[in-house]
A and B are shown apart, each in its own frame.
Chain A
Amino acid sequence: AQSVTQPDIHITVSEGASLELRCNYSYGATPYLFWYVQSPGQGLQLLLKYFSGDTLVQGIKGFEAEFKRSQSSFNLRKPSVHWSDAAEYFCAVGRGNDMRFGAGTRLTVKP
């Protein structure tokens, strides 16, 4: 069965520090992979997506993610976190109407 696991429920980092949010998936076929961000009281905004090709994808707001097929992972990274990055982040995998979301990782940024 298709599933997405975000192992970290809550992460706290200091402003300016690097960030990595983990995402592991189980999917029968080659999946399409997504990261979304949800700021408090807001909807979901697409950060980046991977469909095929280069396994390192660049997104908005300075985020990137790397698809590792052998590890079934699609981890999100940012070299230097800003206070405005505090939000909840969702990994999603799937194709078409078959989309699965992880439970989310809440990011807190310390001054």
Chain B
Amino acid sequence: EAQVTQNPRYLITVTGKKLTVTCSQNMNHEYMSWYRQDPGLGLRQIYYSMNVEVTDKGDVPEGYKVSRKEKRNFPLILESPSPNQTSLYFCASSLGNEQYFGPGTRLTVT
């Protein structure tokens, strides 16, 4: 089954404790991206990657890092999480202009 998977689905952590949210797709898509969803703001793009070893900032990259060492994986790294990064995070992959979304990761930073 073609899909985008994210782990973990839910995470509660404390300020400053480094964390990684994994994202994996099995569709051989070149393009992947990360979004955060906040009430009243819709989805905002954090980072995107056009292919392996090619990443670029989206609209809200501050406080986040990504890497793309393999085509299928695109992890999101929060080196020092802060409470304002409490949000719902979505990974997506695409070939062309249609994006396929993962199920989301709800992150709470206390």
Contact = CB atoms under 8 A, between A and B. Distances in A.
Interface of A: 4, 6, 9, 32, 34, 36, 42-46, 49, 51, 90, 92, 94-97, 99, 101-104
9 contacts: A36-B101, A42-B103, A43-B104, A46-B98, A92-B43, A96-B31, A97-B33, A99-B99, A101-B42
Contacts, number: 48
Interface residues of B, number: 21
Most buried by B among A42, A94, A99: A99
A7 to B, nearest CB: 13
Interface of B: 31, 33, 35, 40-45, 48, 50, 56, 90, 97-104
Contacts of A51: 97
